[in-house]
Structures are given as C-alpha cells and as structure tokens.
Amino acid sequence: MGKVGIIGVGQSAFVRNYPGSIRELAFEGFKEAMQDAKIKTTDIGASIICSAPEYDKQRSPAGVLAEYLGLIPQPTFYLESLCSSSSMGLRTAYALIQSGLHDVVAVIGFQKMSEITSAESQERMGRGADIQWESPFGTMMPAYYAMHAQAHMAKYGTTSEDLALIRVKAATYGQKNPKAVYRKPVTLEMFSQPDNPLASPIASPLKVGDCCANADGSSCLIVANEEKAKEFCQKPVWIMGLGSASAAVNIAGRDSLTGLSVARASAAQAYKMAGVTPNDIDVAEVHDCFTIAEMMAYEDLGFAKPGEGKDLIRSKETYKEGKIPVNVDGGLLSKGHPIGATGGSQIRTIVLQLRGEAGEIQVKDPEIGLVHNIGGVGLYGNVTILGR
C-alpha cells in the first residue's frame, strides 16, 4: 500500500460562547484547511464529521454540515468516540483511502458546547459512564480523574504540586497560542492562594486549575493518498502509525487506576506500525483533560517509567526546549477542549511542528510527532504517529 498524507490542516479559535451556528463554526476550521491544502471542494471524495452528539441540537449533523461546506453529493459519515472522535476520524479516513474507495477525505471535528447549560453539560458528561451501574451514583469527569490522581499519589508519591506544574507549563504556551481559550499566565503560587479561583477544590486532590476548559471550536484535516498528496502539497506530513483500543466502561472493570490501558495498547500498536520507539518522538500532543491525565500519558506512552512522570515535569523535560516537548500549544488545559474538535486540533499542531510552521512554539527541527487522544475516562484510546 502507498503512503497516506495530511495535506491541509485548520482550526477555528476555541472560545467560550461562539455566536454563530454549528455550520458557521465548522466552516472556520474547514476554510483554513482548504486554504492550507490549496484544493477545491470537488477534489474531496468524502467527508467524515466528528462530534459528541449529546451536545448537538441538530440530529445527524453530518449531512447538514456537508451541504453547507459544499461537500455534496459526495458521501459523508458521522463518527463519534467521545473526546477522541476526530482522531478516530483520521483513522477512518486512512482506511477509506487505503481501501481505494477515496483519494482525498476531509475529517471535520466540531463541538458547540455552549448550546447547553453547564448543568446539562455535566449531566451529559456523566452519561459517558455506564448509565446503569455508574452514572446514577453521580460520577462526573473530575471525580473519575480524581480517583486516578489519588491512586497515582498513593503508589508513586506524586504530589499536588507536581500536577500544578503541568498546568503552569500549559499556561506558559497557551499565552502564545492565538487560538487558545485561556491565555492567562499561571504560577505555582496561585494553587496555594485560598482566594484564587484556580485553587478552588473540585474533587480531591483536583482543583479548578487542574481541569481543562470547555469550549466551542472546530478543526479540519485534509487527508490524501500518496499520489494526490504529492500532486497537491509541497510538504505533506505522512501517517506513520495508528493505534486504537477500548476498555471496560466501568472503572470497576479496570486493572489499574495509575494509568490508562487504552493508551498503552494504542501506543504499542502505533509504535509497531511506524517502526519507532518512544525515544524517536520529537514532539507530542497528549490528552490533558486534567493535569493527572498528562502525567499518566508520560508513562503510558513510554516517555517515562511508571511513577517517574513527575520527574519529567519537575525537570522541565516536557517544555519546548526539553527532551520530549509535550503540549507546547497549551494543551486542552489552556487551548480548550471542544470535544469533537480536539483530536483534529492536536493533529494540526503536530503537522505544523513537522512542517516548521509553528511560530513561537516551534520545537527545533522535529522529524516525528505523536498525538495521544482519549475518549471518555479511558474508554477509547487513539495514538497517531506522524512524520515529515
């Protein structure tokens, strides 16, 4: 089989309350990707629309968006795997292209989370767990990740300060990202100031500052087979490895709370397919919905041994100048987390890094990048490895 490349990437600004419709929101990421790829809508053979449907008032938004974006009568698909929807969309696009069904596919992720209230949003997030055996007891995303944090602390001696250091790093780069929803500086001292909102408790040991920001946003990836990629694009970024896994929806069915089995399994698949190891990764985007999630990702992806993720952040090895730069666009913690758009945004960041077009957050001469995107509380895992 020939190679599959990404020839265009786009993303809207991630904002709190987008004033337009989901059509207009999706168009922002799509327009940027199409301008980046320098192609016409008639060059696209199919589209994959990705979001979490609980937030969409429009039933089956794929057809509505495809029409608005000028992608009919080509086939369109609607795909969701919670927060990893657009990474799974890229995997699906890869399969459609390698099968020979399509030469060029657009992967469009979006979420307008402000369409519902905060209370409704929390209720829907709770329904990401098993609605028979867990969510009726009031489980919410922060509570689940708080259990992960408590387990990691109990086994490895990780501290709240270690987690806060991850948020400080996110804010360091979020300030430099014009598309980020949270662009304010964060210091370690803020987490110990009782009157500071970031220090407000959410679910012990997690505080407000340990949690990502909900947002409205869209992302778009234009994916093509090798022939079309070379025809349309001077600097295609190639898909080297793809890994995907799922786990028991109930936390009681998990073997461990100090990491995510889906991340380890999907990373192993992606490394094997790409023929690389964790030491070959030059820059990474990981799913930091909470600070503990980034800490676990360091270890699940093999950047650190179990329990030693805290050493990476303490020594700033995951900063732009470090051994393994991670989330130098601010991550979900500062950039924001519009569920369906998140994976595509992460992939966009790595594509720009590999093309040397990341501006202030550019890592020095990266050749291989990795994206780690998790759906739910470790229910779905996707790892994507990209190369120049």
Over residues 331-359, the pLDDT tens digits come to 999 999 999 999 999 999 999 999 999 99
**Is residue 68 scored above 90 in pLDDT?**
yes
Catalytic annotation, pick one of 102, 148, 287, 337: 337
Q: What is the pLDDT of residues 218-228, one digit of tens each?
A: 999 999 999 99
Q: Identify whether 337 is a catalytic site residue.
A: yes
Q: Which residue has the higher pLDDT, 134 or 242?
A: 242
Question: Range with the lowest mean pLDDT among 118-132, 286-300, 339-353?
Answer: 118-132
Please state, in angstroms and as integers, the Cα–Cα distance from residue 336 to each residue in 177, 215, 216, following that order: 11, 6, 8
Q: What's the pLDDT score for residue 131?
A: 82
Q: Identify whether 372 is a catalytic site residue.
A: no
φ/ψ (deg, to 5) at 383 = -125, 130
Average pLDDT on 63-73 reads 97
Query: Quick one: what percent of the chain has pLDDT higher than 70?
Result: 100
**Is residue 82 scored above 80 in pLDDT?**
yes
Instruction: Return the amino acid letter for 233.
Output: C
Catalytic annotation, pick one of 83, 211, 212, 289: 83
Instruction: Return the amino acid letter for 167.
Output: R
Average pLDDT on 152-166 reads 98
Which secondary structure element, helix H or strand E, spans residue 285, and what is its range?
strand 283-285
Average pLDDT on 186-211 reads 96
Confidence of residue 281 (pLDDT cuts 50, 70, 90): very high
Nearest one of 136, 156, 129 to 252, comparing CA atoms: 129
Q: What's the pLDDT score for residue 145?
A: 96
Query: Quick one: what percent of the chain has pLDDT higher than 90?
Result: 88
Average pLDDT on 121-134 reads 79
Q: Which CATH superfamily is domain 4-117+214-232 in?
A: Thiolase/Chalcone synthase (3.40.47.10)
Q: What's the pLDDT score for residue 267?
A: 98
What's the whole-model pTM score?
0.97
301: its two tokens = 């992806």
Q: What's the pLDDT score for residue 218?
A: 98
18: its two tokens = 């987008």
Q: Which residue has the higher pLDDT, 255 or 258?
A: 258
Q: What's the pLDDT score for residue 188?
A: 97
Q: Which residue has the higher pLDDT, 123 or 251?
A: 251
**Is residue 1 scored above 80 in pLDDT?**
no
**Is residue 107 scored above 80 in pLDDT?**
yes
**Is residue 130 scored above 90 in pLDDT?**
no
Radius of gyration over every alpha carbon of the chain, rounded to an integer in angstroms: 19
